[in-house]
Amino acid sequence: MMSLARALVVGLVGTAVLSAFEPLERRWLGHVPPYSLAALAARMRGVPIPIATRAALLLRWTYGPTWGVVYTRATRGIVPRHPVLEGIALATTICAFELAVIPAVGLVRPLRDWSRRELAALYAHTLAFGLAAGLTRRALA
Protein backbone atom coordinates (compact mmCIF):
# COMPACT_ATOMS: atom_id res chain seq x y z
CA MET A 1 0.00 0.00 0.00
CA MET A 2 1.29 3.46 -0.89
CA SER A 3 1.79 5.86 2.00
CA LEU A 4 0.30 9.33 2.13
CA ALA A 5 3.79 10.80 1.66
CA ARG A 6 4.30 8.82 -1.54
CA ALA A 7 0.84 9.77 -2.76
CA LEU A 8 1.72 13.43 -2.21
CA VAL A 9 4.96 12.92 -4.15
CA VAL A 10 2.90 11.52 -7.04
CA GLY A 11 0.85 14.72 -7.08
CA LEU A 12 3.84 17.00 -6.60
CA VAL A 13 5.73 15.44 -9.51
CA GLY A 14 2.62 15.70 -11.68
CA THR A 15 2.24 19.36 -10.71
CA ALA A 16 5.90 20.12 -11.44
CA VAL A 17 5.68 18.48 -14.88
CA LEU A 18 2.47 20.36 -15.57
CA SER A 19 4.13 23.65 -14.65
CA ALA A 20 7.04 22.90 -17.01
CA PHE A 21 4.55 22.01 -19.78
CA GLU A 22 2.73 25.35 -19.67
CA PRO A 23 5.11 27.34 -21.92
CA LEU A 24 4.49 24.77 -24.68
CA GLU A 25 0.74 25.28 -24.29
CA ARG A 26 1.08 29.05 -24.58
CA ARG A 27 3.29 28.70 -27.65
CA TRP A 28 0.87 26.26 -29.33
CA LEU A 29 -2.20 28.38 -28.56
CA GLY A 30 -0.53 31.71 -29.26
CA HIS A 31 -2.01 33.13 -26.05
CA VAL A 32 -2.46 32.34 -22.38
CA PRO A 33 -4.85 29.38 -21.96
CA PRO A 34 -8.18 30.28 -20.34
CA TYR A 35 -7.47 27.83 -17.48
CA SER A 36 -3.95 29.16 -16.76
CA LEU A 37 -3.01 30.71 -13.42
CA ALA A 38 -2.70 34.11 -15.09
CA ALA A 39 -6.18 33.84 -16.62
CA LEU A 40 -7.69 32.64 -13.35
CA ALA A 41 -6.02 35.49 -11.49
CA ALA A 42 -7.34 38.02 -14.01
CA ARG A 43 -10.92 36.72 -13.55
CA MET A 44 -10.81 37.21 -9.76
CA ARG A 45 -12.60 40.53 -9.87
CA GLY A 46 -11.65 43.07 -7.26
CA VAL A 47 -8.60 41.12 -6.13
CA PRO A 48 -5.24 42.74 -6.87
CA ILE A 49 -3.31 40.70 -9.46
CA PRO A 50 -0.31 39.94 -7.17
CA ILE A 51 -2.66 38.52 -4.52
CA ALA A 52 -4.76 36.64 -7.08
CA THR A 53 -1.64 35.17 -8.66
CA ARG A 54 -0.38 33.97 -5.26
CA ALA A 55 -3.79 32.49 -4.52
CA ALA A 56 -3.79 30.69 -7.87
CA LEU A 57 -0.30 29.30 -7.18
CA LEU A 58 -1.42 28.11 -3.78
CA LEU A 59 -4.42 26.48 -5.42
CA ARG A 60 -2.20 24.68 -7.97
CA TRP A 61 0.24 23.35 -5.39
CA THR A 62 -2.58 22.01 -3.21
CA TYR A 63 -4.87 20.87 -6.04
CA GLY A 64 -2.21 18.78 -7.82
CA PRO A 65 -1.04 16.87 -4.74
CA THR A 66 -4.68 16.34 -3.78
CA TRP A 67 -5.28 14.66 -7.15
CA GLY A 68 -2.16 12.57 -6.46
CA VAL A 69 -3.69 11.36 -3.19
CA VAL A 70 -7.10 10.71 -4.78
CA TYR A 71 -5.46 8.79 -7.63
CA THR A 72 -3.25 6.62 -5.41
CA ARG A 73 -6.16 5.90 -3.05
CA ALA A 74 -8.47 5.01 -5.96
CA THR A 75 -5.86 2.61 -7.35
CA ARG A 76 -4.92 1.15 -3.96
CA GLY A 77 -4.24 -2.55 -4.28
CA ILE A 78 -3.83 -2.37 -8.05
CA VAL A 79 -0.33 -3.14 -9.28
CA PRO A 80 0.74 -0.27 -11.58
CA ARG A 81 1.38 -2.43 -14.65
CA HIS A 82 0.14 0.09 -17.17
CA PRO A 83 1.16 3.55 -15.92
CA VAL A 84 0.55 5.19 -19.29
CA LEU A 85 -3.02 3.86 -19.46
CA GLU A 86 -3.57 4.87 -15.84
CA GLY A 87 -2.20 8.32 -16.67
CA ILE A 88 -4.59 8.66 -19.60
CA ALA A 89 -7.52 7.59 -17.41
CA LEU A 90 -6.48 10.06 -14.70
CA ALA A 91 -6.09 12.87 -17.24
CA THR A 92 -9.52 12.16 -18.70
CA THR A 93 -11.07 12.19 -15.22
CA ILE A 94 -9.40 15.48 -14.28
CA CYS A 95 -10.26 17.08 -17.62
CA ALA A 96 -13.93 16.07 -17.32
CA PHE A 97 -14.02 17.38 -13.75
CA GLU A 98 -12.46 20.69 -14.76
CA LEU A 99 -14.73 21.11 -17.78
CA ALA A 100 -17.73 20.61 -15.53
CA VAL A 101 -16.63 22.61 -12.49
CA ILE A 102 -14.39 25.54 -13.39
CA PRO A 103 -16.85 27.19 -15.81
CA ALA A 104 -19.75 26.51 -13.43
CA VAL A 105 -18.08 28.41 -10.60
CA GLY A 106 -17.05 31.25 -12.89
CA LEU A 107 -13.29 30.70 -12.85
CA VAL A 108 -13.15 30.62 -16.67
CA ARG A 109 -15.28 31.97 -19.47
CA PRO A 110 -18.12 29.70 -20.68
CA LEU A 111 -17.00 26.64 -22.64
CA ARG A 112 -19.04 27.73 -25.66
CA ASP A 113 -16.51 30.57 -26.02
CA TRP A 114 -13.49 28.23 -26.06
CA SER A 115 -11.85 27.24 -29.33
CA ARG A 116 -11.29 23.59 -30.20
CA ARG A 117 -7.59 24.21 -29.76
CA GLU A 118 -8.15 25.52 -26.21
CA LEU A 119 -10.17 22.41 -25.37
CA ALA A 120 -7.44 20.19 -26.82
CA ALA A 121 -4.83 22.15 -24.88
CA LEU A 122 -6.73 21.54 -21.64
CA TYR A 123 -6.67 17.80 -22.34
CA ALA A 124 -2.95 17.96 -23.13
CA HIS A 125 -2.51 19.95 -19.90
CA THR A 126 -4.21 17.27 -17.82
CA LEU A 127 -2.42 14.54 -19.80
CA ALA A 128 0.96 15.99 -18.80
CA PHE A 129 -0.11 15.71 -15.16
CA GLY A 130 -1.71 12.27 -15.58
CA LEU A 131 1.25 10.67 -17.34
CA ALA A 132 3.71 12.09 -14.82
CA ALA A 133 1.53 10.86 -11.96
CA GLY A 134 1.10 7.39 -13.48
CA LEU A 135 4.81 6.95 -14.12
CA THR A 136 5.70 8.30 -10.67
CA ARG A 137 3.25 5.94 -9.00
CA ARG A 138 4.87 3.03 -10.79
CA ALA A 139 8.38 4.20 -9.87
CA LEU A 140 7.37 4.44 -6.20
CA ALA A 141 5.52 1.10 -6.06
The reported pTM is: 0.91
Could you tell me if 109 and 34 are in contact, meaning their C-beta atoms sit under 8 angstroms apart? yes
Domain count, the chain: 1
How confident is the model at residue 1, as a pLDDT?
A: 57
Confidence label for 135 from pLDDT (cuts 50, 70 and 90): very high
How confident is the model at residue 76, as a pLDDT?
A: 87
How confident is the model at residue 63, as a pLDDT?
A: 94
Those residues whose C-beta lies under 8 Å from the C-beta of residue 130, and which sit 6 or more positions away, are 14, 86, 87, 88, 89, 90, 91, 92, 94
Q: Is the confidence at residue 96, as pLDDT, over 90? A: yes
> Looking at residues 110-132, what average pLDDT do you find?
97
Domain region containing 29: 4-140
Q: Cα–Cα distance between 6 and 116 in angstroms, integer?
A: 36
